[in-house]
Chains A and B, each alone.
Chain A
Amino acid sequence: MEIFLQQIINGLTLGSIYALVALGYTMVYGILGLINFAHGEVVMVGALVALSVIKALAASALPGPVVVLFGALVAVVVCMLLGGAIERVAYRPLRHAPRLAPLITAIGISILLQQLAMLFWGRNYHAFPPILPASPHSVFGASITDVQILVVVLAGLIMLGLTQLINRTRMGRAMRATAENPAIAQLMGVDINRVIALTFVMGSALAAVAGVMVSANYGIAHYHMGFMLGLKAFTAAVLGGIGNLPGAMLGGLLLGLIEALGAGYIGDLTGGFLGSHYQDVFAFAVLILVLVFRPSGLMGEKVSERA
């Protein structure tokens, strides 16, 4: 029972992070119908930028939480610029090209970012400075750290804010209109280039926050961390129904839980034949199953196939 509760806690933490990254994928897909392959690398850049800032300020007299907040803010700003730049360079010129083209530039950008990050931060794993006191709280025999609580609460607040932004503001309405039909939105006076750029920028800001969270939670950051995380977040977005914001949140949480519980119990279920190092298989298995049996995802509408 303790194991079960513990895996639920771990799963929720992981799932909140997936959800934040998945939102970035889903927003872009909703508007452009394009998978932003480089999104995972933005998460990685966010984590490493925050890490560098926090390390640089660690010696100063500023109190810990201020340092961390400042680091996260710098990371968010850097990632927003990066996200905007990626859209401008790699996607905008190809908006009317065959669909394979932007996918391949995205892979190119992804490789570029990884290599640049490696040159800049090196090949090593960086230890993330402990932000909050590491002493875990005990809940019915399972343990939960302050960082985990913070991650879940903060992710919840951000998602709430984002939903309000999309549903209540003028900009949000413009975004929804562009997602519905870009040509008509443009006729109604929406500057769709601006809306699309803004979508990328917002998604990147979320990615930066997720990057800081994931490295704070696991205490580690490295140049290669974005790839797998990005893939899994994409899986989460598909699971929830790509293009659908609440779907991405639900999908993220579910995937986190599936992974945590799967990794926790696979050993017992298969009589020790398969162990927890098969954790990464779950995400892909979920992805393939969802796409085969319910391609529109849990909450997505049935959309006609676009050729």
Chain B
Amino acid sequence: MTPKLRRVIGLSLVAITLAVLPFVVGAGLSNTWVRVIDFALLYVMLALGLNIVVGMAGLLDLGYIAFYAVGAYVYALLASPHFGLHWPVWVILPLGALLAGVAGVLLGAPTLKLRGDYLAIVTLGFGEIVRIFMNNLNAPVNITNGPQGIAGIDPLSIAGVSLGKSVEVWGLTIPSVHLFYYVFLVLTLLIIVVSMRLENSRIGRAWVAIREDEIAARACGINTRNMKLLAFAMGASFGGVAGGLFAGFQQFVSPESFGLLESVMVLCMVVLGGMGHIPGVVLGAVLLAVLPEALRHIAAPAQQAVFGKILIDPESLRMLLFGLALVLVMLYRPAGLWPSPTRKREFDKAAR
């Protein structure tokens, strides 16, 4: 078998698996699990967006979820009874990506000179400011509807077909969650392709150069200011798209979904998976999105069986393991679970 043929077979196997996944999962477990997979895809998009900022350009951003929030709120405001607007998806999603990108530049511009921990704290503060405003911009002019959030958002609809309810195709009923799965899958693949193309482009190499040594990068003729701003804008726009999809999927947004913990969660996906390495980041996102749900279904009955009552509720168990995982991975596998070969070499060298 030639390597090319093997590659074709491998890719087609992956494609078939991805294509039938929701039906297998839906039949084998339940549609709740398809929903979990939908969310996992959203997290993959977010993680890949953050990967551009943190993994490639080396700018530690702890407020990334703010861009997700911008995308979600743009969708929520323009396609819900809140303002009585019902714009089409094709206008809203690019607009959300654009506005998130602008927000990224707004955050990036004043923080260009900062690096490392300082940048982390400022971005964290930015994320909190966005959340505080979402929480409080309901008076005197009601823009965001405050802590109650915005409900009754139009579900995503594509070519006049609403994804909010199941669709009959040739006698086969495709449930709503499955429809979302396919739309999310297509966009996720698109984002993966864009990320991979970026990685090997002039821009991607410039980002890596900045990450490795900013002064040397500048000496090599890279316009570090523009490149950093571009990293912020690109990463943010991915987040904006994911946010819009989230709003169209959940049909409800409130500031609660965009807390610091979510930022940390996305960062963990990138770090645990392997910073700057696309397959690693995808793995990290899927693991961290699916495992806690699995845990939720296993931990409670297990505790019931062993102790006769639920000692630790699944939500805090999830967070406990999450914190523990962060510490342990950093101590024992600082380059992540599936690091890129170059990155791994660097960490091994640093550890020595």
A interface with B by C-beta (< 8 Å):
34-35, 89-90, 93-94, 96-105, 107-112, 114-116, 118-119, 227, 231, 234-235, 238, 272-275, 277-278, 280-281, 283-285, 287-288, 291-292, 295, 305-307
Q: Is A115 in contact with B122, judged by CB distance below 8 angstroms? A: no
Bound CA span A305–B351, Å: 23
Contact status of A115 and B319, CB under 8 A, knowing A281-B132, A284-B128: yes
Give the contact stretch, choosing among B17-25, B107-115, B286-294: B107-115
CB contacts under 8 Å to A, within B314-343, are 316, 319-320, 322-327, 330-331, 334
CB closest residue in chain A, given B352: A96
Q: Which residues of B contact A93 (CB under 8 A)?
A: 331
Shortest beta-carbon distance, B198 to chain A, in Å? 21
B152, CB-defined interface residue at 8 Å: no
Q: Is B136 in contact with A109, judged by CB distance below 8 angstroms? A: no
Q: Which residues of B contact A287 (CB under 8 A)?
A: 121-122, 125
In the complex, 22 of the A-B residue pairs with CB atoms within 8 angstroms, ordered by the A residue number, are A94-B331, A96-B350, A102-B330, A104-B267, A104-B326, A105-B327, A105-B331, A109-B327, A119-B312, A235-B125, A272-B140, A277-B136, A281-B133, A284-B129, A288-B122, A288-B126, A291-B114, A292-B110, A292-B111, A295-B118, A307-B213, A307-B214
B282, CB-defined interface residue at 8 Å: no
B99, CB-defined interface residue at 8 Å: no
Q: Is B327 in contact with A284, judged by CB distance below 8 angstroms? A: no
Query: 1/0 contact trace for B259-274 toward A, CB 8 Å?
Result: 0100010011001000
Bound CA span A278–B138, Å: 13
Interface of A is mostly: helix
Q: Is A103 in contact with B60, judged by CB distance below 8 angstroms? A: yes
Q: Which residues of A contact B121 (CB under 8 A)?
A: 35, 231, 234-235, 238, 287
- Cross-chain contact of B125 among A275, A288, A306 (Cβ < 8 A): A288
CB closest residue in chain B, given A283: B125
Q: Is A105 in contact with B330, judged by CB distance below 8 angstroms? A: yes
Shortest beta-carbon distance, B238 to chain A, in Å? 21
Bound CA span A230–B129, Å: 16
Q: Is B320 in contact with A115, judged by CB distance below 8 angstroms? A: yes
Bound CA span A251–B176, Å: 54
Q: Is B350 in contact with A100, judged by CB distance below 8 angstroms? A: no
Bound CA span A288–B320, Å: 31
Q: Is B124 in contact with A105, judged by CB distance below 8 angstroms? A: no
Contact status of A90 and B327, CB under 8 A, knowing A99-B117, A284-B125, A287-B121: yes
CB closest residue in chain B, given A112: B323
Q: Which residues of A contact B330 (CB under 8 A)?
A: 94, 97, 101-102, 104-105, 108
- Cross-chain contact of B264 among A35, A107, A277, A281 (Cβ < 8 A): A107
Bound CA span A149–B347, Å: 51
CB closest residue in chain B, given A111: B323
Bound CA span A273–B346, Å: 52
Q: Is B316 in contact with A118, judged by CB distance below 8 angstroms? A: yes
Bound CA span A100–B53, Å: 14
- Cross-chain contact of A112 among B264, B327, B350 (Cβ < 8 A): B327
Bound CA span A287–B118, Å: 10
CB closest residue in chain B, given A289: B110
Bound CA span A291–B124, Å: 13
Q: Is A99 in contact with B116, judged by CB distance below 8 angstroms? A: yes
B102, CB-defined interface residue at 8 Å: no
Bound CA span A98–B336, Å: 13
Contact status of A295 and B213, CB under 8 A, knowing A94-B330, A284-B125: no
Bound CA span A275–B129, Å: 14
B120, CB-defined interface residue at 8 Å: yes
CB closest residue in chain A, given B131: A280
Q: Is A291 in contact with B319, judged by CB distance below 8 angstroms? A: no
CB closest residue in chain B, given A306: B116
Shortest beta-carbon distance, A37 to chain B, in Å? 9
Bound CA span A304–B79, Å: 50
Q: Which residues of B contact A98 (CB under 8 A)?
A: 334, 346-347, 350
Contact status of A280 and B132, CB under 8 A, knowing A99-B117, A100-B60: yes
Bound CA span A98–B271, Å: 13
Q: Which residues of A contact B129 (CB under 8 A)?
A: 281, 284-285
Shortest beta-carbon distance, B109 to chain A, in Å? 9
Shortest beta-carbon distance, B287 to chain A, in Å? 16
Bound CA span A99–B211, Å: 12
Shortest beta-carbon distance, B267 to chain A, in Å? 8
- Cross-chain contact of A103 among B120, B213, B268, B320 (Cβ < 8 A): B120
Q: Is A109 in contact with B350, judged by CB distance below 8 angstroms? A: no
Bound CA span A109–B334, Å: 16
Q: Which residues of B contact A281 (CB under 8 A)?
A: 129, 132-133
Shortest beta-carbon distance, B45 to chain A, in Å? 22
Considering residues A97, A111, A238, A277, which has the most beta carbons from chain B within 10 angstroms of its beta carbon? A111
Shortest beta-carbon distance, B299 to chain A, in Å? 14
Q: Which residues of B contact A103 (CB under 8 A)?
A: 60, 117, 120
Q: Which residues of A contact B351 (CB under 8 A)?
A: 96-97
- Cross-chain contact of B334 among A101, A115, A280, A305 (Cβ < 8 A): A101
Contact status of A97 and B327, CB under 8 A, knowing A103-B117, A103-B120: no
Q: Is A89 in contact with B327, judged by CB distance below 8 angstroms? A: yes
Bound CA span A65–B346, Å: 56
CB closest residue in chain B, given A104: B330
Considering residues A118, A119, A288, which has the most beta carbons from chain B within 10 angstroms of its beta carbon? A288
